Chains A and B, each alone.
Chain A
Amino acid sequence: AQSVTQPDIHITVSEGASLELRCNYSYGATPYLFWYVQSPGQGLQLLLKYFSGDTLVQGIKGFEAEFKRSQSSFNLRKPSVHWSDAAEYFCAVGAKAAGNKLTFGGGTRVLVKP
């Protein structure tokens, strides 16, 4: 069964500083990998996804993520955080062989200090 771990429950970062959110997955083959953002009381917005090919993926809002097969990781990064980036971030893994079920990590809440 596939699983996703986001080791950091909370991260506080100053506005303008860089941000990195960790994500580790467990799956026998290369799954589909996603990062979503959720603002309080809202639905999910896709930031980026990885299926295959270039391991560095560019997303919306200036986010990028790098797939590292050797580390089973898909960490999300942003060079300079804006106050509007304060939200909950979820890493997710899906796989066709697993019935296309999307499994979510526990989430990381990002707080942005002025």
Chain B
Amino acid sequence: GAVVSQHPSRVICKSGTSVKIECRSLDFQATTMFWYRQFPKQSLMLMATSNEGSKATYEQGVEKDKFLINHASLTLSTLTVTSAHPEDSSFYICSVPLANGGNGYTFGSGTRLTVV
């Protein structure tokens, strides 16, 4: 149980285009999802907290107009990288806290974004 499906696993896009990444909870409801970014050989940095039915909460330094988050249902959160640039190339991964973190967290398998 508690499986999170993240798609796509890899995407290559041209500079200036937008890319949508989906994170879907398959067998449970997720009112909160977290989005992380990981640059090569670095740690995971929290970008934003996605809240079902309300606006996402962004971490300091993360551009909300560039990284659009939509959490329209209890099972789906999307991250859209708008007007992507090569510096946005990174590994993006979503995470869902289980029982408010009391049962740990489950992670998507991640999306490798390459902007050319």
User: Which B residues are in CB contact (< 8 Å) with A102?
Assistant: 34, 46, 95, 97, 101, 105
| Set B44, B102, B108, B112: member contacting A90, Cβ < 8 A | B44
Q: How long is the Cα–Cα vector from A42 to B107 in the complex, in angstroms?
A: 11
- Does B43 make an interface contact (CB < 8 A)? yes
User: Which A residues are in CB contact (< 8 Å) with B44?
Assistant: 44, 90, 104
Given that A32-B102, A96-B101, A100-B100 are contacting pairs, would A106 and B43 also be in contact in the complex, using a CB cutoff of 8 Å? yes
Q: How long is the Cα–Cα vector from A107 to B45 in the complex, in angstroms?
A: 12
Q: How long is the Cα–Cα vector from A105 to B109 in the complex, in angstroms?
A: 19
B43 touches A100 (CB 8 A): no
Within 8 A of A (CB), among B72-115: 93, 95, 97, 100-102, 104-105, 107-110, 112
Closest 9 CB pairs of A and B: A100-B101, A100-B97, A43-B109, A104-B44, A43-B110, A106-B43, A94-B101, A104-B43, A107-B43
Residue of A nearest to B46 (CB): A101
B49 touches A101 (CB 8 A): yes
B27 to chain A, nearest CB (A): 18
Contact with B along A18-43 (1 / 0, CB 8 A): 00000000000000101000000111
The count of chain B contact residues (Cβ–Cβ below 8 Å) is: 24
For chain A, the bracket of interface size reads 20 to 34
A residues neighboring B (CB under 8 Å): 32, 34, 41-44, 46, 49, 51, 90, 94-96, 99-107, 109
User: Which A residues are in CB contact (< 8 Å) with B42?
Assistant: 106-107
User: Which A residues are in CB contact (< 8 Å) with B93?
Assistant: 43-44
Given that A34-B104, A94-B105 are contacting pairs, would A101 and B43 also be in contact in the complex, using a CB cutoff of 8 Å? no
B48 to chain A, nearest CB (A): 10
A34 touches B108 (CB 8 A): no
User: Which A residues are in CB contact (< 8 Å) with B34?
Assistant: 101-102
User: Which B residues are in CB contact (< 8 Å) with A99?
Assistant: 49, 57
User: Which A residues are in CB contact (< 8 Å) with B45?
Assistant: 104
